[in-house]
């Protein structure tokens, strides 16, 4: 069986060809038919991840050198490797990177497994912080999915410059006991006598909702409405708390996407980060203006045609030869 990276790569190619390349003249129709299917993309990805032979038994750390002043500490999603993250532009484009492929047990069926996995990340980061002579003034944190758990924890402890988090949830236990993606973990957890409340009580110190007061001023959060990995209710609850603490936080709600499409959309926007923003804005405005005026012209022409009860030919754009 192929590993998770290959299967998710195939899935994302399908998404790119079918969703992001549809005819712009029929956006409304495409969204109407695609909306009920957005959750299915997550379900397919969940099946691929759960059936994958790729398992992260231990923590893996990789250094990536890039131009820039900041050093980004990046925590990848569950069972996602560096190659996949780079291919889909899920990492910062500027600044040196310290990338962590998190162990599977960060989402443990037993709270102690989660705490042990988290402790391995904590010990490694503390050692790297000293070894690389990092400073709170030039580090930032980048968390994706399960990786948002350590990202929030360290961002709250380190007084860093920035935090970027995609698809976080307020409480890990609550997420495990309500997310479709965690159904296998939830089953094992219930068999061991745990509930969501008991689980969260035992990992209280590392839950995201308890690591918010000292976050940096520059915070960006993405949450997804149709998320099957991280319940939208948990993300929404977290966002409300963050807005009370950090009123300048940038909150981006992906109201028509699930977990996978939100990550994919985030990667597409991240890829454009070095492009001239002015040119992008002008192109978007011109595109909208063209199609809005075209729609209004044809609508008014149809009404005029109907009122006069006449059949006027549509304007011919072809050359008169």
DSSP result, 288-313: HHHHHHHHHHHHHHHHHHHHHT--PP
Domain architecture of the chain: domains with CATH: 4-50 (no CATH), 60-271 (3.40.50.1820)
Give the DSSP H or E segment for 270: helix 259-271
pLDDT the model gives residue 316: 42
**Contact (CB, 8 A) for 115 and 89:** no
Query: Which residues make beta-bridge pairs with 163?
Result: 141, 219
pTM: 0.75
Here the tokens at position 233 are: 């209710």
pLDDT the model gives residue 11: 52
Distance CA 295, CA 253 (A): 28
pLDDT the model gives residue 57: 72
- In our burial notation (b when 16+ CB lie closer than 10 A, e otherwise), range 126-149 reads eebbeeeebeeeebbbbbbbbbbb
Distance CA 140, CA 266 (A): 18
Question: Which residues have CB under 8 Å from 117's CB, separation 6+?
Answer: 59, 102, 103, 104, 105, 106, 108
pLDDT the model gives residue 292: 43
What are the pLDDT tens digits along the chain (321 aa)? Answer: 344 445 555 555 544 444 444 444 444 444 444 554 566 676 676 666 655 555 667 899 999 999 988 999 999 999 899 999 999 999 999 999 999 999 999 999 999 999 999 999 999 999 999 998 888 889 999 999 999 999 999 999 998 999 999 999 999 999 999 998 899 999 999 999 999 999 999 999 999 999 999 999 999 999 999 898 998 999 999 999 999 998 889 999 998 888 988 999 999 999 875 433 333 333 444 444 444 444 444 444 444 444 444 444 444 444 444
Distance CA 283, CA 160 (A): 35
């Amino acid at each position: 069986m192929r590993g998770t990276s290959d299967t998710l790569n195939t899935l994302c190619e399908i998404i790119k060809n079918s969703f992001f390349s549809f005819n712009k003249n029929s956006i409304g129709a495409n969204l109407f038919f695609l909306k009920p299917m957005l959750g299915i993309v997550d379900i397919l990805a969940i099946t691929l991840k759960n059936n994958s032979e790729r398992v992260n038994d231990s923590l893996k750390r990789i250094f990536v050198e890039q131009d820039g002043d900041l050093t980004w500490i990046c925590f990848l999603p569950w069972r996602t490797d560096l190659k996949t993250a780079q291919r889909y532009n899920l990492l910062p484009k500027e600044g040196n990177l310290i990338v962590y492929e998190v162990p599977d047990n960060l989402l443990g069926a037993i709270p102690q497994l989660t705490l042990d996995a988290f402790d391995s990340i904590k010990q490694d980061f503390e050692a790297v912080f000293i070894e690389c002579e990092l400073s709170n003034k030039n580090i930032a944190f980048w968390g994706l999915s399960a990786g948002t758990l350590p990202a929030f924890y360290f961002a709250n402890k380190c007084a860093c410059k920035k935090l970027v988090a995609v698809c976080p949830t307020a409480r890990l236990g609550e997420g495990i006991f309500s997310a479709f993606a965690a159904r296998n973990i939830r089953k094992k957890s219930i068999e061991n006598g745990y509930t969501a409340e008991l689980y969260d009580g035992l990992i209280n110190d590392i839950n995201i909702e308890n690591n918010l007061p000292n976050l940096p001023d520059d915070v960006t959060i993405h949450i997804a409405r149709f998320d099957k990995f991280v319940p939208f209710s948990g993300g929404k609850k977290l966002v409300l708390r963050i807005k009370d603490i950090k009123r300048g936080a940038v909150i981006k709600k992906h109201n028509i996407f699930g977990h996978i499409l939100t990550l994919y959309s985030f990667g597409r926007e991240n890829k454009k980060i070095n492009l001239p923003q002015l040119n992008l804005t002008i192109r978007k405005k011109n595109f909208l203006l063209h199609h809005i005026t075209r729609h209004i012209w044809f609508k008014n022409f149809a009404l005029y045609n109907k009122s006069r009860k006449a059949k006027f030919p549509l304007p011919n754009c072809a050359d008169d030869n």
